[in-house]
Amino acid sequence: MKVALFVPCYVDQFYPQVGIATLQLLGKLGITAAYPPGQTCCGQPLANSGCERDALPIYRHFVETFQDYDAVVVPSGSCVYHVRKHFDKLEQTPAVQRVRANTVDLIDFIVDKLGITTLPGAYPHKVGLHLSCHGQRGLHQANESEVTPVRDGHLRRLLAGLDGIELTELDRNDECCGFGGTFCVSEAAISGRMGHDRVQDHLRNGTQVLTGGDMSCLMHLQGIVRRQKLPMKVLHAVEILNGIS
Amino acid sequence: MSYRTHASRAEAFVLDHERTSWHDETLWFVRQKRDKAVYAVPEFQELRNLASAIKDHTLSQLDFYLEQFEAAALANGVRVHWAADAAEHNAIVLDIIRARGATRVVKSKSMLTEECHLNPYLIEHGLEVIDTDLGERIIQLRDEPPSHLVLPAIHLKKEDVGETFFKHLGTAEGLTDPQQLTEAARQHLRAKFLAGEVALTGVNFAIAETGSVVVCTNEGNADLGVNLAPVHIASMGIEKLIPRLQDLGVFTRLLARSATGQPVTTYTAHYTRPAEGREMHVIIVDNGRTKQLGRPDFRASLKCIRCGACMNTCPVYRRSGGHSYDFTVPGPIGSILSPNIDLKKHSTLPFASTLCGSCTDVCPVKIDIHTQLYKWRQIVAEANGLLVAKKLGMQFMGRLLASPAAFKLSGQLARRGLRLLPHALSHNQAVNAWAIARELPEPPKQSFRDWYAQQAPTPSA
């Protein structure tokens, strides 16, 4: 299996450690992922702003960069969702269809493709899991509270399997954090308030380490945690999963 | 200060931190009641599929079902009127009232008449119009539009209601006890009901097969109004149709659970024919609906049964209030209906969302609300509703992000700039909206791609 790593644009620039941890964790699981250096972005920031047409060159570039791989692993459900759902605007050549089908979130890749359901290691902290909406509702990585009270999902189970870990039970399990791409600046007041409320839910229920599968939500929440000088660490889940083993 | 955009109106709302918390928690409580009711029905998702399919089917043959409904209603002795727009609708209502020489109108809840601005029109023509739904009456006294489909006065606290009733109904100053306030409204409305000459209602469902209209309320105010007044006028949008009486149960099971978490509305009244010596009119209104029906991407928005679940679940609505949408139907569903009516005026509404998708997940008729929000964004931007500067920026970004070299260079410059700039400059809130509530991420010296380049020879891509 020829595996490529796609590191989302903002992760590349601001959170290189997340890309590094992804590469290392995949390595430990026996997967050598290539990093095609020509990669840039999935185009979501433009498309969500209504400029889908201007994003088409980015889509094409993404397809050209990754068309020869059997899996394009991404430590971000949001980018995966965008490639899968919104690359329908491209002419559906075999290459486009292949890339759309092969682009996969890191955690889904580990569990569904590699068949790994537990990772060894201990993480004796109280961990709050933030579900990204694109991951959860878009890719159905976890049950939606709109449908059922049963809480599940690959990431929740992987984390719960670590020794000594305690997962925070939130008052609102899957409320949006308010990042929303350009929403975070175009509706800055509401976005800030949503993030504040999300962080407070974690704080109230004892989260020491706030984690999730999407660094974009976490960048926003971390910005609030740091502004309010709250006693909470913010890490991408792969940083935890790579760090323990 | 002018509040032209959703963001500016929302900003004004969110300024009151405590009140925003209260508004958010009140509506979240309703969402939780809905969840509890939904979890208790094992076949709830099947019901949603069924309701969605029935509505899709009906909309696909709307001309047929409208004519079937008309024929059945006429056969029942109901007078049927057709209105192309709000102005025609209002004129028809006025004609009916004048033909009876009536002046006192009692009205139960109807979002369609809100949409048509019927109340001010009738009042201008010298009629007394009394909204008899408690929430509607409260906002009518305050001269405010509803802020929610089902809970029109949800933006008000009991203290606000006490103040309103003190001013208009003569209750004691400072009265905040909900029981006493409700009793005062009851006494006040009772007199109005008894004096009503014409009863106006909305329509929740119109049954093509039987020609009946179905009105769901919790207060019984529609029933009281209709049964006391000699004339009943029911106003309905063309999308309210369902084919058969046996289809109704699917929707009544979904409506109240989705709206408030009740198994069923307290009153579900079927109006089929006028009582002896009385009149019943149904006005069937288009007002932009066929235009929406002609848009394949947005047609499904007409499936809406006005339960308000998308509002209760929307994290943006809960924190910005219904009035921030400046449209008859607020919240996510309003943000996909309003651009059809006036794209320019409502151009910021499709952007008043994080696209989290919770609206789509609660919708009892499975409207793909967040996907439609995304699609309206494309249309708004294409129509240059997006600020020119932002648009130019996007074209620039498009080119930049399609070019690895330019992307690498701009990333290096941005990170270096962020490291060198003093905090007060990089976090200047006048130019950097991110920094109003948040710190920027600490820029690392090295990007991932730079790190990777140092680790290994570049693999062929």
Domain positions in chain A are 3-113, 126-243
What is the least distance, in Å, from the CA of A52 to any CA of chain B?
7
Chain A residues close to B350, C-beta within 8 Å: 50
Q: Range with the lowest mean pLDDT among A82-91, A225-234, B54-63, B413-422?
A: B413-422
Q: Which of A47, A150, A172 is nearest to B350 (CA)?
A: A47
Please give the pLDDT value at position B56. 98
Residue B389 reports pLDDT greater than 60: no
Helix, strand, or coil (residue A73): strand
Residue B391 reports pLDDT greater than 70: no
Residue B386 reports pLDDT greater than 70: no
Chain A residues close to B415, C-beta within 8 Å: 13-14
| Mean predicted confidence (pLDDT) in B384-407 | 70
Residue B407 reports pLDDT greater than 50: yes
List, as ranges, residues 64-123 from A with C-beta within 8 Å of B. Answer: 65, 68, 86
Q: Within 13 A of A28's CA, how many CA atoms are on the CB side?
A: 15
Domain B43-287: CATH superfamily is NagB/RpiA/CoA transferase-like (3.40.50.10420)
Please give the pLDDT value at position B353. 98
| Mean predicted confidence (pLDDT) in B172-200 | 96
State the pTM of this model.
Answer: 0.95
Compute the distance between CA of residue B21 and CA of residue B41 in angstroms, rounded to an integer.
31
Contact A185 B433 (CB under 8 A): yes
What is the least distance, in Å, from the CA of B311 to any CA of chain A?
13
* Percent of chain A scoring above 70 in pLDDT: 100
Helix-, strand-, coil-residue percentages of chain B, each rounded to 5: 55, 10, 35
* Percent of chain B scoring above 70 in pLDDT: 96
| Mean predicted confidence (pLDDT) in B280-290 | 98
* Largest interatomic CA distance in chain B: 92
Please give the pLDDT value at position A244. 83
| Mean predicted confidence (pLDDT) in B111-140 | 97
| Mean predicted confidence (pLDDT) in A160-167 | 97
Mean of the per-residue pLDDT values of chain B: 94
Please give the pLDDT value at position B285. 98
Nearest chain B residue to A57, by CA: B402
Mean of the per-residue pLDDT values of chain A: 96
Please give the pLDDT value at position A142. 96
Topology of the domain comprising A126-243: Rossmann fold (3.40.50)
| Mean predicted confidence (pLDDT) in B158-170 | 97
Give the residues across from A236 on adjacent strands. Answer: A212
Please give the pLDDT value at position B268. 97
**Token pair for B121:** 């029109």
- DSSP for B208-241, please give it: TTTTEEEEEESS-HHHHHHHHSSEEEEEEEGGGE
The answer to whether B395 faces chain A, any CB pair under 8 Å, is yes
Residue B149 CB contacts under 8 Å (≥ 6 apart), including other chains: B111, B306, B307, B308, B311, B329, B330, B331, B333
- pLDDT category of residue B460 using cuts at 50, 70 and 90: very low
Contact A58 B402 (CB under 8 A): yes
**Per-residue pLDDT tens over the stretch B224-256:** 999 999 999 999 999 999 999 999 999 999 999
Residue A21 reports pLDDT greater than 80: yes
**Per-residue pLDDT tens over the stretch B67-103:** 999 999 999 999 999 999 999 999 999 999 999 999 9
* Largest interatomic CA distance in chain A: 50
**Per-residue pLDDT tens over the stretch B255-280:** 999 999 999 999 999 999 999 999 99
| Mean predicted confidence (pLDDT) in A202-222 | 97
Compute the distance between CA of residue A219 and CA of residue B23 in angstroms, rounded to an integer.
27
Compute the distance between CA of residue A1 and CA of residue B242 in angstroms, rounded to an integer.
52
Q: Report yes or no: A186 and B5 within 8 Å, Cβ to Cβ.
A: no
Please give the pLDDT value at position B461. 40
